[in-house]
Amino acid sequence: MDAGNPCRHDGDLRFIIMIRIAVAQLKSVSDKQENLQKALGLIEKAKTKNADVIAFPEFLMAFSPGEESAAQLAKRAETLDGPFVSALKQAAKASRIATLATLYETCAIPERVYDTAVWIDGDGTLAAVYRKLHLYDAFGFKESDKFRPGADIAAPAPCAEARCGMMICYDLRFPEMARMLALGGAEILLAPSGWVQGDMKLDHWQTMIKARALENGCYVIAPDQTGNIYIGHSLVVDPFGRIVVDMGDGEGLEIVDLDLGIVAEAREKLPLLKNRRAEVYAKHFLGR
């Protein structure tokens, strides 16, 4: 985070507050140790770029092919204090970089795992945990055959001067979740993903991310898997719905400086959060 000199914007004095995020796009393999080593290397690389945060895609721990059984996937899973997360915590602390990572988390339900995102502070503290709420039972897939859905939304995690809300992949298709995170104070939504290839899927991906950013006046950072069955095209979209970064279909690390002043500007010019009519919505049992 860099608090620079004040500058003029629309006649008002404001301070530029920047957060530097490293977005990792990678192709996970079935060997979780190989993926871990790749992740640790990327954290080191992000350190050399003076990043405040590094964000990894969904399924960082391992690629699970369709023929892998629920029992086999459950054997891959680890607890939050297992070696996978522990190594990431050590790396985050050593590099002083907040880290958003994902894993298959052990679940008490037999032959089921959680699809979990963890937020690790730059001091190595496991600060927030989010278990994917909406399982991808769509387009011929049925994640509920192997996964257990989470039960709640994680409160936005503090990062420098911002608050970051966590979503995972299919969650992007549910605008209620993004809105609740924004109302909870999130200026940045982070959505690690494994967006599956298919007809119109790239269009869906871009449209969903732009919509979530625009309707909530926030940044959306969506690191995606590439290769295997996934589309790549990790995106960074600003609060006005503009694509800042599209990483294409190759592996890599993209460094992006986010200006929180643009969040304030978007929410002032287009005050969608303030203009909501929650008292009317409540009459229609929106949660049914």
Domain range for 18 is: 2-284
Going by pLDDT thresholds of 50, 70 and 90, the confidence category of residue 286 is: low
Report the domain count for the chain. 1
Average pLDDT over every residue of 238-253: 97
Q: How far apart are the first and last CA of the chain?
A: 41
Average pLDDT over every residue of 113-124: 98
Q: Are strands 113-120 and 98-106 parallel, antiparallel or unpaired?
A: antiparallel
Is the model's pLDDT at 13 over the cut of 50? Answer: no
% of residues, the chain, pLDDT over 90: 90
In three-state form (DSSP H/G/I as H, E/B as E, the rest C), the secondary structure along 15-52 is EEEEEEEEEEEECCCCCHHHHHHHHHHHHHHHHHCCCC
DSSP state of 193: B
Instruction: Give the pLDDT confidence score for residue 259 in this predicted structure.
Output: 96
Say which residues have a Cβ less than 8 Å from residue 230's Cβ, sequence separation at least 6.
27, 194, 195, 196, 197, 224
**pLDDT mean across residues, the chain:** 93
Going by pLDDT thresholds of 50, 70 and 90, the confidence category of residue 12 is: very low
For residue 57, give the nearest of 247, 276, 271 by alpha carbon.
247
Count of alpha carbons within 13 Å of 78, Cβ hemisphere only?
17
For 62-111, what is each residue's pLDDT tens digit?
Answer: 999 999 999 999 999 999 999 999 999 999 999 999 999 999 999 999 99
Average pLDDT over every residue of 155-176: 95
Instruction: Give the pLDDT confidence score for residue 8 in this predicted structure.
Output: 32
Average pLDDT over every residue of 245-274: 97
Going by pLDDT thresholds of 50, 70 and 90, the confidence category of residue 288 is: low
Going by pLDDT thresholds of 50, 70 and 90, the confidence category of residue 9 is: very low
More confident residue, 72 or 160: 72
Instruction: Give the pLDDT confidence score for residue 200 in this predicted structure.
Output: 96
Helix (H) or strand (E) holding 268: helix 260-269
Is the model's pLDDT at 14 over the cut of 80? Answer: no
Say which residues have a Cβ less than 8 Å from residue 3's Cβ, sequence separation at least 6.
15, 16, 17, 161
Instruction: Give the pLDDT confidence score for residue 7 in this predicted structure.
Output: 33
Active site amino acids: 58, 132, 169
Average pLDDT over every residue of 155-182: 96
Instruction: Give the pLDDT confidence score for residue 160 in this predicted structure.
Output: 81
Instruction: Give the pLDDT confidence score for residue 15 in this predicted structure.
Output: 56
Instruction: Give the pLDDT confidence score for residue 216 in this predicted structure.
Output: 98
In three-state form (DSSP H/G/I as H, E/B as E, the rest C), the secondary structure along 121-171 is CCCCCEEEEEECCCCCCCCCCCHHHCECCCCCCCCCEEECCEEEEECCHHH
Identify the CATH number of the domain in which residue 266 sits.
Answer: 3.60.110.10
Amino acid at position 276, single letter:
R
For 220-242, what is each residue's pLDDT tens digit?
Answer: 999 999 999 999 999 999 999 99
Say which residues have a Cβ less than 8 Å from residue 205's Cβ, sequence separation at least 6.
193, 195, 222, 224, 231, 233, 235
Assign 271 to helix, strand or coil.
Answer: coil
On whether the CB atoms of residues 246 and 216 are closer than 8 A, the answer is no
Tokens of 28: 């996970």
Is the model's pLDDT at 173 over the cut of 90? Answer: yes
Tokens of 17: 């507050």
